[in-house]
């Protein structure tokens, strides 16, 4: 884990389609100063309103993670947020000219490549983290999210689907730049054909296609190129988890364990997390390393 905050070295941009609106979206990411965090600006609206990517700005989790304030929203932020968190980018300003982020190929890989192309620079400000001291658990209707003390950032994700191609899958990893890029960022969002057909009938998923999602029928994957990983489904769920938990605003030193969870349950857990303040502490990284016997200059 890095000792100092990081941002991108230069502005970068891309365009793509919104998965539900079907509209072309232009996106620009700019460097930001220390302690800025990740913020989104709607450049298509009067006065270009701004919103921080924080859990207390989440207004909808039914189909994606949506943040909003004072009547405007930015939808489907989880893949870009996963790229920021996976690459340890703490500060950035995101400009978007529509209410929905571009879906790109349905994964975080295009955003990850974009950030890498811009370059990542260290800033003159210490990085702060949540250090988990006692377990926190939320369980309901067979779903659960827990977080446990652990010396680094780790996630274990389990999914269960009554489908022969998915069934029960578990993936566990310590979240590092390298592992995120190699194992997680290219895992695509997925859906079942009958669900997508329903969404299109009710005016959603207008931009959805085999170019930006894995589509599963009764016994096969409809994408001609198949899966990128045998367990791409659970890897994408872990990607979503990284993006959703980044809305805490600080990195985590702890082990997250999820079972059959999703955006809505992640958000419910984040609310519980902040209600149990005795279970965690905040540290700047050098002081945490000193207290726990690490070399404070070794990051």
| Cβ density class 27-38: b for 16+ within 10 Å, e for less | bbbbbbebebbb
Number of domains forming the structure of the chain: 2
Q: 70 with 95: CB under 8 angstroms?
A: no
Taking only the tens place, the pLDDT of each residue in 101-157 is: 999 999 999 999 999 999 999 999 999 999 999 999 999 999 999 999 999 999 999
Residue 264 predicted with pLDDT over 90: yes
Task: Please indicate, yes or no, whether residues 145 and 119 belong to a single structural domain of this protein.
Answer: no
State residue 285's pLDDT score: 83
The answer to the question of residue 108 being in a domain is yes
What is the residue range of 42's domain? Answer: 4-126
Residue 288 pLDDT grade (very low, low, confident, very high; cuts 50, 70, 90): low
Residue 293 pLDDT grade (very low, low, confident, very high; cuts 50, 70, 90): low
State residue 24's pLDDT score: 96
State residue 248's pLDDT score: 97
Taking only the tens place, the pLDDT of each residue in 5-40 is: 999 999 999 999 999 999 999 999 999 999 999 999
Of 94, 126, 158, which residue sits at a domain end?
A: 126
Residue 57 predicted with pLDDT over 90: yes
Active-site annotation, residues: 263
Task: Please indicate, yes or no, whether residues 45 and 168 belong to a single structural domain of this protein.
Answer: no
**CATH at 87:** 3.30.230.20
Among the residue ranges 48-57, 184-193, 202-211, the one predicted with the least confidence is 202-211
Mean pLDDT of 34-58: 97
Mean pLDDT of 76-89: 98
**DSSP secondary structure code for residue 98 in this structure:** S
Of 79, 102, 126, which residue sits at a domain end?
A: 126
**Pairing mode, strands 251-259 and 153-161:** parallel
Neighbours of 194 (CB within 10 A): 11
Residue 204 pLDDT grade (very low, low, confident, very high; cuts 50, 70, 90): confident
State residue 290's pLDDT score: 56
Residue 289 pLDDT grade (very low, low, confident, very high; cuts 50, 70, 90): low
Task: Please indicate, yes or no, whether residues 115 and 133 belong to a single structural domain of this protein.
Answer: no
The answer to the question of residue 272 being in a domain is yes
Residue 296 predicted with pLDDT over 70: no
Task: Please indicate, yes or no, whether residues 83 and 173 belong to a single structural domain of this protein.
Answer: no
The answer to the question of residue 20 being in a domain is yes
Mean pLDDT of 40-67: 96
Mean pLDDT of 282-292: 70
Task: Please indicate, yes or no, whether residues 237 and 282 belong to a single structural domain of this protein.
Answer: yes
Taking only the tens place, the pLDDT of each residue in 205-255 is: 899 999 999 999 988 999 999 999 999 999 999 999 999 999 999 999 999
Q: What are phi and psi of 252, to 5 degrees?
A: -115, 135
Q: 37 with 24: CB under 8 angstroms?
A: no
pTM of the model: 0.94
Question: In whole numbers, what is the pLDDT of the chain averaged over residues?
Answer: 94
Residues in Cβ contact with 261 at an 8 Å cutoff, skipping those fewer than 6 apart: 143, 144, 145, 157, 237, 241, 269
State residue 203's pLDDT score: 87
State residue 287's pLDDT score: 61
């Amino acid at each position: 884990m890095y000792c100092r905050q990081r941002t991108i070295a230069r502005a970068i941009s891309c365009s793509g389609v919104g998965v539900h609106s079907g509209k072309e979206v232009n996106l620009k990411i700019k460097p930001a100063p220390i302690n800025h965090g990740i913020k989104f600006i709607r450049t298509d609206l009067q006065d270009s309103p701004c919103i921080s990517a924080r859990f207390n700005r989440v207004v909808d989790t039914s189909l994606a993670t949506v943040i909003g304030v004072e009547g405007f929203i930015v939808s489907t932020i989880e893949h870009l947020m996963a790229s920021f968190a996976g690459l340890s980018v703490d500060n950035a300003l995101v400009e978007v000219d529509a209410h929905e982020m571009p879906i790109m190929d349905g994964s975080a890989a295009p955003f990850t490549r974009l950030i890498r192309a811009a370059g990542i620079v260290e800033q003159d400000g210490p990085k702060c983290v949540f250090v988990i001291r006692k377990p926190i658990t939320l369980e309901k209707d067979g779903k659960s999210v827990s977080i446990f003390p652990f010396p680094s950032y780790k996630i274990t994700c389990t999914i269960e689907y009554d489908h022969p191609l998915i069934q029960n899958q578990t993936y566990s990893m310590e979240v590092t730049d390298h592992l995120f890029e190699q194992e997680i960022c290219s895992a695509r969002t997925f859906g079942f054909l009958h669900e997508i057909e329903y969404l299109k009938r009710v005016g959603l998923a207008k931009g959805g296609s085999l170019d930006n999602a894995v589509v599963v029928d009764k016994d096969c994957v409809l994408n001609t190129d198949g899966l990128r990983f045998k367990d791409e489904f659970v890897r994408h769920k872990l990607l979503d988890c990284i993006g959703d938990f980044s809305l805490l605003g600080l990195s985590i030193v702890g082990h997250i364990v999820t079972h059959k969870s999703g955006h809505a349950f992640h958000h419910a857990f984040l609310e519980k997390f902040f209600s149990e303040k005795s279970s965690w502490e905040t540290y700047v990284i050098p002081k945490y390393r000193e207290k726990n016997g690490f070399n404070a200059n070794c990051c």
